[in-house]
Amino acid sequence: MSLFKQNQKQSDDSGKRSRGASRGNEKKKTRAIPWGWLLGLTAVCALAGALLWFWPTLMKWVNQPIARVEVRSTFNYLERGEVEKELSPWLVNRFFYLDLEAMRKVVLGMPWIREASLRREWPDTLVIRLEERKPIARWQDDGLIDVDGEVFRPGLLDTFGNLPKLSGPEDRSQDVMQQYLAFSQVIRPLGVAVRELRLSTTDSWWLKVDHVDVNLGRDRRMERLQRFIRLYHARLDDRWQDVRRVDLRYLNGASVAWKQP
């Protein structure tokens, strides 16, 4: 009888442990679902979907076509319409698609442009700042030259006939310009002006002072020009209009050719 009760008790204990284990497994299986995380993921997915849906419309609003071009320059020689004409193939692009560097190169390729900068102004404006070249003299028969010695050829030169004329090898344009400025400064106190200056292929310098041809030769240019100034004060001032040519290619003297009486 006691043995029966003992076996029954062990059986009851093992049953309780089995039921307890099964309840534990059920508790593990029915763990709480993270609703907050799922709601957050759903919101992110919805936002991403909405963004993808409205992205073309948003980009059209942000990246608008260019509606206004502001060209800021002194416009002494340049015309606004010429700049817009050169840039018109690029202006079909929208605001953020403008290739500003390529456009700047095109603008700098225009004869009258010395420097240029381009920038966008949202939502639909392109601002162009230009610095024009300042012609100091004519170069050869078909060009102009600025104070930097840069030669440019804008086309018609009819309105620049009063400028002095410089000429020489193309790769020596800066040397010719610097020499012109130096000569002009030295003889300006005489009340005369350099009308032409030419550098030959043999490095010989020739200039026209008012109507007079002055040959300086190759060497000691400034020394010979100073000799011309002394000669002008001593012999030529009173008869300047009768002088035709002065040759200074002598060691310590000069020869003067007069107009025929």
Q: Among residues of the chain, what percentage have pLDDT more than 90?
A: 66
- What is the mean predicted confidence (pLDDT) over 195-221? 96
Residue 21 has pLDDT above 50, yes or no: no
pLDDT of the residue at 3: 40
Confidence of residue 48 (pLDDT cuts 50, 70, 90): low
Residue 54 has pLDDT above 70, yes or no: no
Task: Report all structural domains of the chain as residue ranges with CATH numbers, in order of start.
Answer: 68-132 (3.10.20.310), 135-258 (3.40.50.11690)
Mean pLDDT of the chain: 85
Residue 242 has pLDDT above 70, yes or no: yes
Residue 105 has pLDDT above 80, yes or no: yes
Residue 184 has pLDDT above 50, yes or no: yes
Burial 160-189 (b: 16+ CB within 10 A, else e): eeebbbbbbeeeebeebbebbeebbeebee
